[in-house]
Amino acid sequence: MCGIVGAIADRDVVPVLIEGLKRLEYRGYDSAGIAVVDEQDVRRVRRTGRVSEMENAAIAEDFHAHLGIGHTRWATHGGVTEANAHPHISQGVALVHNGIIENHEEQRERLRELGYQFESQTDTEVIAHLIHHYLKESNDAGTGPAQGLLAAVQRAVKDLTGAYALAVVSRKEPERMVCARMGCPLLIGLGEGENFVASDVSAILQATRRVIFLEEGDTAEVTRAGVRVFDGDNVEIQREVHVSDVSLASLELGPYRHFMQKEIHEQPRALADTIEAVIDGGFSAELFGANAEAALRDIEGVQILACGTSYYAGMTARYWMEAISGLPCSVEIASEYRYRAAHANPKHLIVTISQSGETLDTMEALKYAKSLGHLHTLSVCNVPESAIPRASELVCYTRAGAEIGVASTKAFTTQLAALFQLCVVLGKLHGKVSEADEADYLEQLRFLPGSVQHALNLEPQIALWAEKFAGKQNALFLGRGLHYPIALEGALKLKEISYIHAEAYPAGELKHGPLALVDAAMPVVVIAPNDKLLEKVKSNMQEVRARGGELFVFTDQDSNFTESEGVHVIRTPRHAGVLSPIVHTIPVQLLAYHTALARGTDVDKPRNLAKSVTVE
């Protein structure tokens, strides 16, 4: 949820750190800071608010150095204050940290007894003091500072329980940076005579594409000349060098005002990329890994686990799964599943869905599922080499490209496309999908990017609706069947970025309670495509109109709706068949975006949220 960047080079690294933090800012944006090692001293600048404020302070204070670390924070332990912002310093040792230290109170007591004083309320400050304590201990014993920082970090992390990615520098060792990883991603970027550390490759892409992903328990020493990596037993080890294919363009705004707007408009391309392999090679088990067929044949059901928007993708997939593959399918919020005494059928495939591949609740749910004996696991993820796919047997990478806006958009629709592919593949392997069905599904997929583009063209009409929504306090979203999860997603998007309270219900559930909320001040958004439930949805809409509620209906060109007083209608061009939920996602995304715009909120960085949620 926070972001780390570090650099050691012959050139001034301060611009590299600032640029890296700006690229990481979407991950957490409560406060930011850098620490540099400068002529045997550590200098630090921290500010609450955005990276640009910290940058101005760094310029004003004339920060320049060849070694430095930086951090952008999403507050967990301790409020949003400068004192709680990273880096934290303990007598010349400066450190930035992502993750949560669970035993920080116990360590704090121990360190207080050793004479350390605390300036912040964070768990992180404990780590800085611990490292200093071990450095001092080795210095006092005469081990000498040359190996000091690395050894001190390796000793300190053994005292920690919890999750961390760390980058550490010391004024006594201006030639190195030390880092460590457990439970939070961290990578090292390899340059020419300069090297980098980052929690996310986007932070260092301007400098290098060659990266080493640290493994759980690894520590590393990074100098200008090279990198040494050590495993959890402190044994030096070689880790593979990867070349990142993340494009710089995906990290730039281009002609758009916001990343969310850009990412909404990228959906035809993102979907075309995600379905490319199926369009070229058909619905083959190999889409999920070279040896996927045996595992996918072996299963008797599916359990989907995810959070937030990814959970709604899972809810949609359940309708497809049962209808297309004939397999029983359950969907559960990962943070609930992981603490439930679930009765596992080992032959139920665990499917985790996560844009980031880092979400702690989903990761822990996956571990829990494995501990219950589930034999096969599959991850639908947008970030190659991230933790959840690495912990899964089978993987389907969505090809949405980097998603920067906190509100997930293109990741959601590409997750849906990937899950649809999984349903059809399972249907084939389990004898439910005939050749004719397969050809039909392929044909529907072929039309998908075009249909999504048509839906995007509705933007001007939707922007007009958004002006009406901007003055509201509440909104209701309704859908049925496959489109109920899309109503949920529409409500989540609206509340996330416009701060309007929004709820979604299956339209048939309205009369069982939420109808009491409906009056002339309550806009009711209905997702009503021309499917077998349309007549039922129309009856539910009558219930709203009879109570004076104003209806905003998204439907297809071919459904016989007419506008009337209190009933506004926007039509997507044609019914997209079984893929209609993907097409009907576009209007609700645009409605949320334009409503937020009209209300003047920070669309890409909504209050209190962060892009990837690596805490419980």
The catalytic residues are 2, 611
Q: Are 410 and 403 in contact (CB under 8 A)?
A: yes
Position 355 contacts ligand M6R (CB under 6 A): yes
In the complex, the smallest distance separating the C-beta of residue 478 from ligand M6R, rounded to whole angstroms, is 20
d(CA 346, CA 349): 8
Q: Which is nearer to ligand M6R, 169 or 592 (CB)?
A: 592
Amino acid sitting at position 349? L
36, 414, 517, 595 from 527: Cα distances, Å: 53, 20, 19, 18
Which of 267, 408, 413, 540 lies at the binding interface for ligand M6R (CB under 6 A)?
Answer: 408
Helices (H), 71-123: 104-113
Position 407 contacts ligand M6R (CB under 6 A): yes
Q: Are 84 and 30 in contact (CB under 8 A)?
A: no
Q: Name the segment binding ligand M6R (CB under 6 A); options: 50-58, 153-161, 301-309, 321-329.
A: 301-309
Q: Which is nearer to ligand M6R, 34 or 365 (CB)?
A: 365
d(CA 445, CA 417): 8
Position 308 contacts ligand M6R (CB under 6 A): yes
Burial (0-12, 13-18, 19+ Cβ within 10 Å), 609 = middle
Write the interaction track for ligand M6R spanning residues 262-291; mark x where CB under 6 A is met and - where it is not: ------------------------------
Q: Are 9 and 66 in contact (CB under 8 A)?
A: yes
Least Cα distance to 9 among 272, 240, 192 occurs for: 192
d(CA 210, CA 536): 56
Q: Are 264 and 589 in contact (CB under 8 A)?
A: yes
In the complex, residue closest to ligand M6R by CB = 308
Position 589 contacts ligand M6R (CB under 6 A): no
User: 451 to 510, contacts with ligand M6R by CB under 6 A?
Assistant: 496
Position 32 contacts ligand M6R (CB under 6 A): no
First to last CA, the chain: 11
Position 354 contacts ligand M6R (CB under 6 A): yes
7, 106, 368, 373, 561 from 341: Cα distances, Å: 46, 30, 10, 13, 47
Alpha-carbon dihedral angle through residues 353, 354, 358, 360, given to the nearest 10 degrees: -60
d(CA 587, CA 571): 10
Position 362 contacts ligand M6R (CB under 6 A): yes
In the complex, the smallest distance separating the C-beta of residue 592 from ligand M6R, rounded to whole angstroms, is 10
Least Cα distance to 461 among 553, 379, 585, 548 occurs for: 553
Q: Name the segment binding ligand M6R (CB under 6 A); options: 154-162, 308-316, 423-431, 463-471.
A: 308-316
Q: Which is nearer to ligand M6R, 324 or 407 (CB)?
A: 407
Position 406 contacts ligand M6R (CB under 6 A): yes
In the complex, the smallest distance separating the C-beta of residue 307 from ligand M6R, rounded to whole angstroms, is 4
Q: Name the segment binding ligand M6R (CB under 6 A); options: 168-176, 268-276, 401-409, 441-449.
A: 401-409
In the complex, the smallest distance separating the C-beta of residue 552 from ligand M6R, rounded to whole angstroms, is 21
Applying CB under 6 A, the site for ligand M6R has a residue count of: 15
Position 613 contacts ligand M6R (CB under 6 A): yes
Which of 31, 195, 219, 356 lies at the binding interface for ligand M6R (CB under 6 A)?
Answer: 356
In the complex, the smallest distance separating the C-beta of residue 291 from ligand M6R, rounded to whole angstroms, is 25
In the complex, the smallest distance separating the C-beta of residue 414 from ligand M6R, rounded to whole angstroms, is 11
d(CA 363, CA 353): 10
User: 225 to 244, contacts with ligand M6R by CB under 6 A?
Assistant: none
Q: Name the segment binding ligand M6R (CB under 6 A); options: 179-187, 233-241, 307-315, 579-587.
A: 307-315
Q: And the tokens for 90?
A: 């303990």
Please give the radius of gyration of the chain, using alpha carbons only, rounded to the nearest integer: 26
Q: Which is nearer to ligand M6R, 9 or 363 (CB)?
A: 363
Q: Name the segment binding ligand M6R (CB under 6 A); options: 214-222, 231-239, 257-265, 402-410.
A: 402-410
Position 309 contacts ligand M6R (CB under 6 A): yes
Position 195 contacts ligand M6R (CB under 6 A): no
Helices (H), 237-391: 259-265, 267-281, 292-298, 308-320, 334-337, 360-371, 387-390
Sites of contact with ligand M6R (CB under 6 A): 307-310, 354-356, 359, 362, 406-408, 496, 612-613
